[in-house]
């Protein structure tokens, strides 16, 4: 069982509260990094992480509360924060930034717009991973 599977409840809660960020499995640990808009959301995620008895040796998490962050709901494909007009998208197997840009912004060449909005978690536009939750800027 992968760590993503083991901590799927926490990942689902993070998605449901609109956490901006993602959970990546590397070096034998689940690296959970993102921002939420309230302490309550942060605590919900931490409670789910801590429900797994071995969490201390398997999880490296940084969840920050950012006031006024764009809030999204659901898995991200059709979610949108009314205030900022931005949304999120959870990367699926086979996705590329160009494909996501075409689907959400109407132009595959707008992939750098998505990359630039997600520099906190992406270092290369050609390296995205399933499960990452990307910010999709409003309009291009």
Residue 116, in any domain of the structure: yes
pTM of the model as a whole: 0.49
Domain hosting 126: range is: 87-136
Percent of the chain with pLDDT over 90: 21
Q: Indicate if the pLDDT at residue 32 is higher than 90.
A: no
Residues 44 and 13: beta-carbon distance below 8 Å: yes
pLDDT tens per residue across span 66-124: 865 443 333 333 333 333 456 788 888 899 999 998 988 889 999 999 999 888 889 99
Residue 76, in any domain of the structure: no
Q: What CATH number is associated with residue 114? A: 3.10.350.10
Instruction: Report how far residue 119's alpha carbon sits from residue 125's, in angstroms, rounded to the nearest whole number.
Output: 9
Expressed in percent and rounded to 5, the helix, strand and coil fractions of the chain are 35, 20, 45
Residue 51, in any domain of the structure: yes
Residues 132 and 98 occupy one common structural domain: yes
Q: Indicate if the pLDDT at residue 25 is higher than 70.
A: yes
Residue 80, in any domain of the structure: no
Residue 73, in any domain of the structure: no
Residue 70, in any domain of the structure: no
Query: Mean pLDDT for the chain?
Result: 81
First to last CA, the chain: 40
Nearest to 55 by CA among 36, 29, 21: 29
Determine the pLDDT at residue 73: 35
Determine the pLDDT at residue 140: 47
Number of domains composing the chain:
2
Residues 19 and 56 occupy one common structural domain: yes
Determine the pLDDT at residue 70: 43
Tell me the two tokens of residue 1: 């069982």
Percent of the chain with pLDDT over 70: 84
Residue 56, in any domain of the structure: yes
Q: Could you give phi then psi for residue 63, rounded to 5 degrees?
A: -120, 115
């Amino acid at each position: 069982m992968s760590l993503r599977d083991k901590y799927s409840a926490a990942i689902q809660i993070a998605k449901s509260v609109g956490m901006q960020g993602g959970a990546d499995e590397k070096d034998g640990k689940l690296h959970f990094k993102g921002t939420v808009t309230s302490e309550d959301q942060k605590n919900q995620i931490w409670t789910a992480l801590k429900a797994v008895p071995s969490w201390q040796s398997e999880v490296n998490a940084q969840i920050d509360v950012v006031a006024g962050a764009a809030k999204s709901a659901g898995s991200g494909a059709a979610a949108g924060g009314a205030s900022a007009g931005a949304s999120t998208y959870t990367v699926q197997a086979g996705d590329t930034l160009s494909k996501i840009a075409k689907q959400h912004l109407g132009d595959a060449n707008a992939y750098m717009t998505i990359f630039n909005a997600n520099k906190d978690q992406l270092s290369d536009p050609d390296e995205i991973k399933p499960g990452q939750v990307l910010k999709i800027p409003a309009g291009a």
